[in-house]
Amino acid sequence: MAEAWVYILRCADDSLYTGWSVDVTRRLARHRSGRASRYTASRLPVELALALAMPDRAAAMREEARIKRLDRSGKLALIASCAADRGAGVSGGGEVSGRVRA
């Protein structure tokens, strides 16, 4: 399993939230319960748009910072490009396994 993950959530108001975690499934559950961040708590429900496996925490933090610098269209393009690669390492039902979940 990956050491860390970078993820993008799509909020109820169609905004995008980017974060990182060592346990993206648990972090998503916290976001959905309104206990992970004030931003997403006021924009429920949220859905996982993208999760990228990273080799370590430092890489996850760097990638999160890079994604946060993108404008909305850049983030949507990243989500779309990863969705096109959806075949490798994706499980259904909102669970994350492997490299990419879009």
pLDDT score recorded for residue 2: 74
Q: Is the pTM of this model over 0.95?
A: no
Domains, the chain, ordered by start: 4-101 (3.40.1440)
What single-letter amino acid sits at 95?
Answer: E
Q: Which residue from 100, 83, 75, 91 is spatially nearest to 16, judged by alpha carbons? A: 75
Q: Which residue has the higher pLDDT, 85 or 52?
A: 52
Distance, CA of 66 to chain centre: 13
- Write out pLDDT tens, residues 2-31: 799 999 999 999 999 999 999 999 999 999
pLDDT at 42 over 80: yes
**Strand, helix or coil for residue 27:** helix
